[in-house]
Amino acid sequence: MAILFHIDMNCFYASVEQAINPALKGKPIAVGGDPKERRGVVVTCSYEARARGVYTTMRVTEARKQCSELIMLKPNFERYRAASNAMFTILREYTDLVEPVSIDEGYMDVTAIVHGADALNLAEDIQQRLKKELDLPCSIGIAPNKFLAKMASDMKKPMGITVLRKRQVEAVLWPKPVIEMHGVGKRTAEKLAAHNIKTIGDLAATSEVDMRAWFGKNGVRMREKAYGIDNRAVDPTSIYDTKSVGNSTTLSENILSERKLNDVISQLSQRVANRLQAKNLAGKTISIQLRSADWKQTTRSKTLVNAIYEQHDIAREAKELATKHWNGAPLRLVGVSISQVENRQQRMEQLDLFTFTDHVRDEPVMNIMNELRDKFGQDIIVRGVRVKKSTYDAPTSFSKDFLDDHRK
């Protein structure tokens, strides 16, 4: 049976600040935006701040009202990135099977290096090393698969170590509210509640046929997880799999006109295009995210025949979606993203009426290339393709691009 760890750093940004400045330890601190700006929200906060009612995503102005002695710090992402690198470096000293999933959490497959009760000793050693060498606390979940390991790491914070076995699922997980299940957010929980599914046990008791009918493939996966089933392997190469590229912004003033909305979409589309081009990617599905002033969220997508990556194409499609689905309510957040991405250089060009003549003209060249490949190998020559991987050096969103530090 596999033995997997989920390492979850506790209050990561705040803990890094306290490690660098010990005078902050034991005090209510929060990392977030400028309290003078509307977009200022709490990104994370210490346990001392949480005990006083401060929480992540709370507006900075509200957090100060809730806790008058709150110490607000602006984010220092390079500092957190360095701490993340140091954390994952320590993890990789134990095994190469380490999969980063965010800047402050990752999975380890330790099956080959521990047996039975030794797993607990290994987890304690890792936890103590991270605390001693980096002065950073973490919680660790130990389980036979990713889902259970993630659920376990959430059970004891800070500095907790929890073992969760499949035979414990019914007793430990089923009584919990379904929203506490990893992968179930507020909106999904509301949809589940509409079908009288309020606990993880209720989810497990629902038939696969109904879950598929109501939620599609995702419904089947949710039900499997309710039984503690998760066959995903720890994959260190997953950092190379970019599934989507997007950008969003919270506005300092509500958007009230279509002209202003289109201006913002154009700006976001340029950022998305820059990221796609830096990574040599293109995508077929475009999505927009609109959040109104009363926090109601609308997400709409459209899948295209051909993949796109240029700003004008992204902006055109995003504006069309916005025009169709915006009801005119004041907007405080807008997002644009591209998914179903693929490497542009490896994407085969489709033959159609506009490119067929080019291929006919190139046929003699293609014949020569094929002869060379047959003689010397497939990689001897490529047509119009750079072999080198992209350098990923364009400005991109921090939450995604920390993974670039782990690319070899």
Cβ atoms of residues 57 and 14 within 8 Å: no
Nearest to 281 by CA among 172, 390, 373, 381: 390
Residue 149 near residue 168, CB atoms below 8 Å? no
Which range is least confidently modeled, 13-22, 186-195, 275-284, 369-378?
Answer: 369-378
**Strand ordering across the sheet containing 161-163:** 98-102, 105-109, 4-9, 138-143, 161-163
Q: Which residues share a beta bridge with 252?
A: none
DSSP secondary structure code for residue 168 in this structure: G
Check residue 36 and give its pLDDT.
Answer: 52
Paired tokens of 24: 């902050």
pTM of the model: 0.70
Tell me the binding residues for Mg(2+): 8, 104
Summarised one tens digit per residue, pLDDT across range 250-264 is 887 889 999 999 999
Domains annotated on the chain, with CATH: 1-164 (3.30.70.270), 169-226 (1.10.150.20), 242-346 (3.30.1490.100)
Task: Verify whether residue 105 is a known catalytic residue.
Answer: yes
Q: Which of 93, 105, 310, 320 is catalytic?
A: 105
pLDDT of residue 61: 87
Q: Which residues contact 96 (CB under 8 A, 6 or more apart)?
A: 236
141-198 residue pLDDT tens: 999 999 999 999 999 999 999 999 999 999 999 999 999 999 898 889 999 999 999 9
Among candidate residues 186, 145, 137, the one with its CA nearest the CA of residue 165: 145
* pLDDT at residue 241 tops 60: yes
